[in-house]
Amino acid sequence: MTLEQKHHESATVGQEVIIRERRLGALLTFQGKGSDLMKLAKENPEGCCHDNYFNQCGDCSSQRAMLPISQIRDAALVNHAPIGCASDLGQFNAQHRRGLRYNAIPVQNIRALSSNLTEKDLIMGGENKLAAALEEAYRRFAPKAIFVTTSCASGIIGDDIEEVTLNAEEKLGIPIVPIYCEGFKSMVWTTGFDAAYHGIVRKLVKPPRERRNDIINIMNFSNQHAFSPLLAKIGMEARYLVHQASVEELAHISEAAATGHMCETLGTYIAASLEKLYGVPELKSPPPYGSLWTDLWLREIGKITGREKLVEKVIVSERKRIAPELEAVRKKLEGRTVFAFGGASFCHNMLALAHDLGLKIVGMMGFHHDMTFDNDYEEIISLKNTLTLVGNIGSYSVCNKQPYQMIKILQDIKPDLVMSRHESLPTQAVKLGIPTFFAADANILGGYDGVVTTGKRILGAIKSRNFVKNLSAHSREPHSAWWKKQKDPFYFAKGKRL
């Protein structure tokens, strides 16, 4: 696909989003230096997505699409799937309740149904059942919109989701938003984020009534309002999206002055879509992690909204404000080594932060890698930004959430600290006795205050290692003696095939 085609297709409002393997040349396996990956992306922007011939369970588009939309506070969700695909609604419910409480919105459970496809439906088709589930969701929850997420099963039997949702839309008089996120379609589960945002842009976002020069969209994971105090200093407001947002709020995200994101992996697709369809510019800067990137981020906002002078003043005063505390934290962290793993671009953010704190970066592992992003702006290529900021990264790997590889790499590098995002995986480091800092709430790490806060929390993690030490002394690794002796974590990507 040429770049031009890619641009055209990615941000239009066709039925389905193009999967990341095709759209962004996403990779799932790589090992080398950071600069090697950069070079590879230049030489081969279409990538070559292949997987290992031993795999541990990863993640799927469906799960990643369902999480953000289950958090939209006055919509309902119908998962058109066998019951198992709705398994983690309980977890999403816990997350939603926490988010609502934090945002001082009346706390309620998520509103979600499974169409519960059974063996009979897989033979006879599940369209009637979906129609019934949509009506039921409307009756039970009185939602402002209903999302429908698809599944491997609904995809294989070929249910006509467009038709069912259009009919229901007519009957119920609210937007019914199909999200095409069948797990088998993409090996790259972050395609699910794109699928969710695609549905939102396609069905919910309306053309702008006005342009709000004081509002910025922030695509983020958990809606902590950590950027608001900083933005207030330049007279701006953040609209945190999409968790705990309302359908009405989503309708008007086309009116913002710009779209920023806390992670390019998460937000660049919707940012590019809003730019192409409604002229909302995507911020051409790295996200605000670490002092320098926060400077760049504020300057870009200043440039777009005509607040350049004010921004420069704020940068000087903010930097001055945090300087004493930052200096003290840096001194205490000096010389400590850090390894990061997480979604590719958020890993880059954590490294920018680690660099600002004076930690020594010894490597990172991204869960996939996008060779390009939807907007071809040099300024948003997170790998390039990272290498420019922190220098080359000696041990850079891309690995699709595979603990057997993670353990080997960590055993080899033995960092003082692991920084991570993505639940359940830091356990692998803990079992090796390595303290971890988990970026549970990505927003808290952002901005100038985020640097100091994170530094202090890392100090805490390094200082008291007793839990980690105790557990590592008593945990068992499920790998064979042969694998423990194997030198190459990527043996199963390169070794002889069956």
Partner 1 sequence: MSLRQANSYKEGSFIDRPRHTCALGGALFTLRALSRVIPIIHASPGCGYNVYTAFNAGAGYLGGGYCGGAAWPSSNVVENEIVFGGEDRLKEQILSTLELMDGDLYVVVSGCMVEMIGDDLLTVVASIKDSPAPLLAVPTPSFKGNSYDGYDIILEGLFEGLTRRQTRKEKGLLNILGIVPGQDVFYRGNLSELKRLLEALGFKVNSFFGDGEDISSIRRAARAEATILLSDVAGQKAASFLEDARGVPTLKLPFPIGAQETENFLKGVAKALGLRDSKVQKLLSFENRRYYEYLERAADIYNDIDLQRYTVIVADSNYAPSVSNFVSEELGFVPVLTVVTDPLTEEKQKEVLLRFHSSGDLPRPLVRFGTQTSDSARFLREAWAPVSNHRYSFTLSPGLVIGSVYERELAEDYSLPLVTLSFPATNRVVFQEARAGYLGGLTLASEIFTTLVSGR
Touching partner 1, residues 409-448 (CB under 8 A): 423-425, 427-428
| Position among 30, 147, 180, 189 found at the interface with partner 1 (CB under 8 A) | 189
| Position among 20, 185, 276, 369 found at the interface with partner 1 (CB under 8 A) | 185
Residues numbered 125 to 184 that lie near partner 1 (CB under 8 A) are: 129, 132-133, 136, 140, 152-153, 156-157, 183-184
Binding mask 289-318 for partner 1 (x = CB under 8 A): ------------------------------
Distances (CA, A) of 452 to 87, 233, 262, 317, 439: 38, 19, 18, 15, 14
- Interface segment toward partner 1; rule CB under 8 A; list 47-55, 220-228, 252-260, 386-394: 47-55
β-pairing, 337-342 vs 396-399, is unpaired
- 3-state SS class at 106: coil
- Interface segment toward partner 1; rule CB under 8 A; list 104-112, 163-171, 316-324, 328-336: 104-112
- Interface segment toward partner 1; rule CB under 8 A; list 1-9, 107-115, 289-297, 379-387: 107-115
Cβ–Cβ < 8 Å for 229, 158 = no
Total residues interacting with partner 1, rule: CB under 8 A: 75
Q: Which value, in Å, is the radius of gyration of the alpha carbons in the chain? A: 23
CB proximity list for 286: less than 8 A, separation 6 or greater: 293, 296, 297, 348, 349, 352, 379, 380, 382, 385
CB proximity list for 416: less than 8 A, separation 6 or greater: 336, 337, 338, 434, 435, 462
Find, among 450, 453, 447, 443, the residue nearest to 232 by Cα.
447
CB of 55 to partner 1, least distance (A): 5
- Report the residue number, 35 or 486, with the smaller CB distance to partner 1: 486
Token digits of residue 183: 């797990």
| Position among 227, 269, 297, 404 found at the interface with partner 1 (CB under 8 A) | 404
* Under rule CB under 8 A, residue 487 binds partner 1: no
* Under rule CB under 8 A, residue 401 binds partner 1: yes
- Report the residue number, 63 or 375, with the smaller CB distance to partner 1: 63
* Under rule CB under 8 A, residue 497 binds partner 1: yes
- 3-state SS class at 128: helix
The whole-angstrom separation of Cα 90 and Cα 378 is: 40
Token digits of residue 207: 């053309």
* Under rule CB under 8 A, residue 90 binds partner 1: yes
- Report the residue number, 7 or 97, with the smaller CB distance to partner 1: 97
The whole-angstrom separation of Cα 208 and Cα 256 is: 9
Question: How crowded is the C-beta side of 322, counted as CA atoms within 13 Å?
Answer: 24
- Interface segment toward partner 1; rule CB under 8 A; list 5-13, 50-58, 220-228, 386-394: 50-58
The whole-angstrom separation of Cα 80 and Cα 63 is: 12
Q: What's the start-to-end Cα distance of the chain, in Å?
A: 32
* Under rule CB under 8 A, residue 116 binds partner 1: yes
* Under rule CB under 8 A, residue 110 binds partner 1: yes
* Under rule CB under 8 A, residue 124 binds partner 1: no
CB of 423 to partner 1, least distance (A): 8
- Report the residue number, 154 or 294, with the smaller CB distance to partner 1: 154
The whole-angstrom separation of Cα 130 and Cα 82 is: 12
